[in-house]
């Protein structure tokens, strides 16, 4: 039995917390106990991808409120708090205690609270004589957000503080750096506490990742030594059947700058790239058609619709990694099966209508009542299916619109060729000067990828030409400055090799194949992805299989369980690892995640979890790069 995924562990921890920190009973019908949930923005981000409002209601939560909103006293009701232990939050809790808003208080802090802040709450409670009301205080160690079963990010709220820009800017102070590293280490520590395992850490030398690894190792070691309060005691791991410790690979974003800029072709990554997608929620603007409204009429408002793409959505789980044309076909298939089922129900209705005229209908009853009952009971399922199909149709149509208007398939194909160093059939200059192929940002991305993956830097004159073409197209050249600096800095390291990949366009057949589908994909090439490995995946492969490779031999090795830390990079353990956790300091995106998922699927029995300090899509990354390049 495989160990429970990080997401399941976090959900279980949340549910236990909501049940007043007692393990939830599994009886089918138990008395409802109602409570109020109070969270701050961090808590909201953690809870919202995991539990829906309906699930909260089922657990007895009648109201869920933000900590810093105006809250009215609701006596006789216990309140569960789920907040970060910051100054303002503590002040607000003390205020609540003084105003005696609720009957009982169960305080849960997302990460560990310091002694002095605890004393602040204690004095406020004493002042309000509410000490007996504070029933339980817990450190939950849940300071990370799990988006998928095997993907987590550190935070969403204040991600500017630990973004790529913050870590790599030139005017950074030591204290700032310390603070950022501490935040990252704190969240990673919480992650391992929730997972219940002490990993073996490996990281490259000489960058932010190393600093994080050193600190994390120290923190884990301190905690393990402190036998009284250790969080990794034996009964935590009782539920886990894997006897091996997981491998924790820390990499820095600077290792691979091209992947975040890459145009992508899989469903989830496309949605993240093209639409407004965070915390598993996508927001679409549904506006009127392209024709302008007639004069004199009031302009129609665009309404924004948000959709949740959750784990319960089976279509999403199946297709989030598939290339986009497959998704279009699959939606069509689902629609057809749904229509067939709908027709079946309608047919039954007709039969029922005829029944009154026929005397011999009594014998027909036996069959039809059973069918009708089954149809009735499956009706809610059918409605749910219809809702999901509508959702995905809307989302996929929006993505398709973007693809068509920006010609993203052309970019994708070209970039794949660049990254695999195969021959280019169209010159870069052509694409850049093509006026209707994508936004200036797309062109900038393409050019940056070219610049990053070129083995020799382009000559000055070429560069001039390209810069002119780019500025003509309306791009801002500041990211380029930063990338030049970066390239010079990492010239010592071997250039990242993106592996062999190939992209086979099926342009000839695309029209014929897609003519039956609802999505008119003419003009959009039906590209087939071949398996290739991004740098991060390759590093992981080397480390997990204990292969020797010049890139990874130099990595440092940390084992918090060993008595003495060593500076060596020789691993003690010679067996290949079964479980791995990859963490990118400085930001990651869905393309890497998808690549890792494909890698773990190709290897039997290996589990890979992906994490990053923040999740950005290409446009956000370009913004950060331009900020960095403007210095």
Binding site for another protein (CB under 8 A): 13, 16-17, 21, 28-29, 31-32, 34, 36, 57, 60, 62-63, 65, 71-72, 74-77, 100, 108, 112-113, 115, 118-119, 121-123, 125-127, 129, 131, 134-141, 193-194, 196, 229, 231-232, 236, 362, 365-366, 369-370, 372-373, 376-377
Which is nearer to another protein, 12 or 161 (by Cβ)?
12
Q: Give least dist CB 583 to another protein, A.
A: 20
Which is nearer to another protein, 17 or 529 (by Cβ)?
17
Q: How many CB atoms lie within 10 A of CB 341?
A: 17
Which is nearer to another protein, 33 or 506 (by Cβ)?
33
Which is nearer to another protein, 117 or 487 (by Cβ)?
117
Q: Give least dist CB 25 to another protein, A.
A: 14
Bridge partner list, 529: 503
Task: Report the C-alpha gap between 192 and 553 in whole angstroms.
Answer: 25
Which is nearer to another protein, 168 or 194 (by Cβ)?
194
For residue 457, how many C-alpha atoms fall within 13 Å in the half-sphere facing its CB? 14
Task: Report the C-alpha gap between 269 and 320 in whole angstroms.
Answer: 8
Which is nearer to another protein, 372 or 429 (by Cβ)?
372
Residue 508 sits at φ, ψ, to 5 deg, of -60, -40
Pairing of strands 151-153, 200-203: unpaired
Q: Give least dist CB 340 to another protein, A.
A: 22
Which is nearer to another protein, 167 or 220 (by Cβ)?
220
Q: Give least dist CB 124 to another protein, A.
A: 9
Bridge partner list, 107: 81, 137
Task: Report the C-alpha gap between 448 and 118 in whole angstroms.
Answer: 50
Which is nearer to another protein, 82 or 451 (by Cβ)?
82
Structure tokens at 183: 């935040």
Task: Report the C-alpha gap between 590 and 227 in whole angstroms.
Answer: 39
Closest CA to 313 of 367, 392, 251, 248: 392
Q: How many CB atoms lie within 10 A of CB 88?
A: 12
Cβ-Cβ contacts under 8 Å for 526 (sequence gap 6 or more): 325, 505, 506, 507, 509, 510, 513, 514
Structure tokens at 103: 């009957």
Find tokens 């549904």 and name the residue.
286
Widest distance between CA atoms in the chain: 93
**Which run of H or of E encompasses 336?**
helix 324-354
Extended strands (E) in 404-526: 503-505
Q: Give least dist CB 373 to another protein, A.
A: 6
Q: Give least dist CB 140 to another protein, A.
A: 5
Task: Report the C-alpha gap between 352 and 375 in whole angstroms.
Answer: 13
Q: Give least dist CB 6 to another protein, A.
A: 13
Q: Give least dist CB 62 to another protein, A.
A: 4
Which is nearer to another protein, 13 or 216 (by Cβ)?
13
Q: Give least dist CB 193 to another protein, A.
A: 5
Q: Report DSSP state, residue 261.
A: G
Task: Report the C-alpha gap between 18 and 13 in whole angstroms.
Answer: 9
Which is nearer to another protein, 63 or 546 (by Cβ)?
63
Q: Give least dist CB 294 to another protein, A.
A: 19
Rounded to 5°, angle at Cα 524 from 518 and 526: 85
Closest CA to 7 of 47, 43, 55, 52: 47
Q: Give least dist CB 154 to another protein, A.
A: 19
Q: How many CB atoms lie within 10 A of CB 393?
A: 17
Q: Give least dist CB 212 to another protein, A.
A: 22
Which is nearer to another protein, 236 or 478 (by Cβ)?
236
Q: DSSP string covering 49-98, please?
A: TT--HHHHHHTTEEEEEETTS-----TT-EEEEEE---HHHHHHHHHHHH
Which is nearer to another protein, 127 or 312 (by Cβ)?
127
Which is nearer to another protein, 283 or 383 (by Cβ)?
383
Which is nearer to another protein, 9 or 385 (by Cβ)?
9
Q: Give least dist CB 178 to another protein, A.
A: 25
Q: Give least dist CB 430 to another protein, A.
A: 56
109 with 138: CB under 8 angstroms? yes
SS3 580: strand
Residue 525 sits at φ, ψ, to 5 deg, of -70, 145
Extended strands (E) in 401-512: 503-505
């Amino acid at each position: 039995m495989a160990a429970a995924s990080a997401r399941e562990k976090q959900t279980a921890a949340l549910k236990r917390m909501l049940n007043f920190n007692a393990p939830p009973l599994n009886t089918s019908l138990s008395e409802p106990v109602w409570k109020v949930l109070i969270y701050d923005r961090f808590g909201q981000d953690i809870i919202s991808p995991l539990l829906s409002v309906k699930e909260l209601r089922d657990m007895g939560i009648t109201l869920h409120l933000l900590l810093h909103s105006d809250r009215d006293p609701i006596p006789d009701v216990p309140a569960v708090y789920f907040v970060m232990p910051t100054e303002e939050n503590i002040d607000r809790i003390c205020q609540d205690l003084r105003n005696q808003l609720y009957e009982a208080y169960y305080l849960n802090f997302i990460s560990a609270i310091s002694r002095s802040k605890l004393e602040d709450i204690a004095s406020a409670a004493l002042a309000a004589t509410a000490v007996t009301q504070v029933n339980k205080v817990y450190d939950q160690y849940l300071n990370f957000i799990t988006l998928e079963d095997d993907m987590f990010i550190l935070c969403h709220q204040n991600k500017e503080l630990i973004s790529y820009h913050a870590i790599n800017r030139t005017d950074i102070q030591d204290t700032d750096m310390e603070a950022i590293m501490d935040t990252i280490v704190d969240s990673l520590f919480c992650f391992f506490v929730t997972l219940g395992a002490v990993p073996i850490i490996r990281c490259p030398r000489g960058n932010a990742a190393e600093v994080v690894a050193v600190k994390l190792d120290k923190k884990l070691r301190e905690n393990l030594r402190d036998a009284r309060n250790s969080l990794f005691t034996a009964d935590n791991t009782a539920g886990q059947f894997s006897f091996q410790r997981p491998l924790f690979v820390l990499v820095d974003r600077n290792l691979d700058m091209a992947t975040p800029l890459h145009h992508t072709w899989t469903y989830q990554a496309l949605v993240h790239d093209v639409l407004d997608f965070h915390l598993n929620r996508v927001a679409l603007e549904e506006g009127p058609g392209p024709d302008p409204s007639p004069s004199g009429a009031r302009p129609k408002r665009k309404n924004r619709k948000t959709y949740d793409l959750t784990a319960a959505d089976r279509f999403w789980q199946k297709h989030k990694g598939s290339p986009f044309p497959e998704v279009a076909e699959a939606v069509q298939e689902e629609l057809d099966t749904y229509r067939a089922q709908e027709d079946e129900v309608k047919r039954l209705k007709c039969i029922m209508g005829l029944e009154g005229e026929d005397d011999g209908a009594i014998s027909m009853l036996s069959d039809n009542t059973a069918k009708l009952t089954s149809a009735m009971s499956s009706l809610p399922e059918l409605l749910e299916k219809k809702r999901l199909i509508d959702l995905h149709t809307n989302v996929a149509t929006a993505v398709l619109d973007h693809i068509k208007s920006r010609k993203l398939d052309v970019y994708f194909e070209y970039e794949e060729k660049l990254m695999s160093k195969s021959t280019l059939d169209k010159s870069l200059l052509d694409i850049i000067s093509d006026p209707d192929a994508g936004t200036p940002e797309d062109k900038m991305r393409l050019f940056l990828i070219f610049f990053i993956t070129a083995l020799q830097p382009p000559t000055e004159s070429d560069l001039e030409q390209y810069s002119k073409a780019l500025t003509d197209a309306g791009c801002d050249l500041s990211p380029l400055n930063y990338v030049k600096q970066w390239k010079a800095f990492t010239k010592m390291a071997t250039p990242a090799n993106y592996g062999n990949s190939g992209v086979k366009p099926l342009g000839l057949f695309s029209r014929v194949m897609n003519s039956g589908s609802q999505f008119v994909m003419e003009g959009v090439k039906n590209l087939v992805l071949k398996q290739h490995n991004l740098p991060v995946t390759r590093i992981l492969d080397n480390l997990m299989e204990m292969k020797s490779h010049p890139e990874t031999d130099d990595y440092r090795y940390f084992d918090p369980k060993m008595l003495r830390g060593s500076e060596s990079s020789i691993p003690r353990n010679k067996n290949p690892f079964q479980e791995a956790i990859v963490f990118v300091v400085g930001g990651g995106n869905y393309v890497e995640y998808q690549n890792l998922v494909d890698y773990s699927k190709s290897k039997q029995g290996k589990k890979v979890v992906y994490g990053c300090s923040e999740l950005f899509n290409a446009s956000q990354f370009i913004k950060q790069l331009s900020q960095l390049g403007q210095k």
